Amino acid sequence: MTLKLCLIIFLIITVIFFVRGLRHKESPMFMGNPDAGEQKQARDPFANERALMVDRQIRDRGVKDQKVLKAMKKVPRHEFVPDDLIRHSYSDEPLPIGHAQTISQPYIVAFMTEMLELDGDDIALEIGTGSGYQAAVLATLVKQVYTIEIVDALGLQAKDKLKSLGYDNVEVKIGDGYNGWPEHAPFDAIIVTAAPKDIPAPLIDQLKKGGKMIIPTGGVNSAQTLRLVKKDMDGKVTIDNVLAVRFVPLTRK
Ligand code: SAH
């Protein structure tokens, strides 16, 4: 009798373990089809750091635009940072990218992007391609990005990087961006990531009616101000000072 009971208990335990083992093995089938984005994130070793960057450095400081937050979460900043600085990719600071230039602090990239209130069918112009990171963030949000870089080596590098990462809606030009890119004007949005002394008149001209430009102005070693330029539907221009900043100077060819 006791032996029978033991055998039955043993059998029950064996069946339980067998069924649990099966379920464990087959669990990916039961989990359904995971979201493609999540699969991609799992392969990206920086996905968690980037999500933290967005939460702590950007959302907590007041950037609210969900589309901007999503874009910042998506674009792999570490791809645009020099190899020896890759571990700092998601830290709260600008980083050197060579040629005495920098990739902007993530918060500043997000703040400036939010100020532009972009739409999916917008055409945007960037002056100061640098690493190509800001262009990639813009490309995630608008239809087409035109970006100009004055340092040949940086422009070429950014062009290759953007292409290899699949940002097909970005065109990079090497040259002096002071005069804008008249062939593609007018622009819904213009972003300048190097500081001229004053706002270049050609850039105001190339802004579409209803368009916005975000641009730092000021001297090299003096205070700089981030300014939001708006052109209304009648072509009237207003300029607001929005933030004290520090950018590399806009140089001329
Ligand atoms: N947006 C960049 C930040 C680049 S820093 C990024 O996301 O990495 C500013 C860049 O502006 C530098 O690469 C600098 O070479 C470039 N620059 C300076 N003067 C310029 C000009 N007149 N025309 C185009 N680019 C310019």
Query: Could you read off the pLDDT of 235-244 as tens digits, one per residue?
Result: 999 999 999 9
Q: Which has the higher per-residue pLDDT, 109 or 9?
A: 109
Domains and CATH numbers, the chain: 45-245 (3.40.50.150)
How many angstroms separate the CA atoms of 54 and 70, rounded? 9
**In angstroms, what is the span from residue 179 Cα to ligand 1's centroid?**
14
Separation in Å, CA 53 to CA 33, 81, 85, 89, 185: 28, 15, 16, 10, 34
Supply the pLDDT for residue 43.
80
Supply the pLDDT for residue 253.
84
Contact 87, 40 (CB under 8 A): no
Contact 239, 213 (CB under 8 A): no
Task: Say yes or no to pLDDT of 51 above 60.
Answer: yes
Tell me the pLDDT band of 11, cut-offs 50, 70 and 90. Answer: low
Q: Is 177 in the pocket of ligand 1 (CB under 6 A)?
A: yes
What percent of the chain is modeled with pLDDT above 70?
A: 84
Residues pairing with 227 in the sheet: 215, 241
Mean residue pLDDT across the chain: 90
Task: Say yes or no to pLDDT of 10 above 80.
Answer: no
Pocket probe mutation, ligand 1, options 149, 159, 165, max atoms within 8 Å of Cβ: 149
pTM, rounded to two decimals = 0.85
Determine the average pLDDT of the residues in 85-107: 97
Task: Say yes or no to pLDDT of 17 above 70.
Answer: no
Contacts (Cβ under 8 Å, ≥6 apart) of 252 = 176, 178
Pocket probe mutation, ligand 1, options 150, 165, 174, 252, max atoms within 8 Å of Cβ: 150
Residues pairing with 218 in the sheet: 224
Supply the pLDDT for residue 14.
64
Task: Say yes or no to pLDDT of 22 above 80.
Answer: no
How many angstroms separate the CA atoms of 167 and 75, rounded? 10
Task: Say yes or no to pLDDT of 31 above 50.
Answer: no
Atom of ligand 1 minimally distant from the CA of 137: 7
Determine the average pLDDT of the residues in 26-35: 36
How many angstroms separate the CA atoms of 106 and 109, rounded? 5
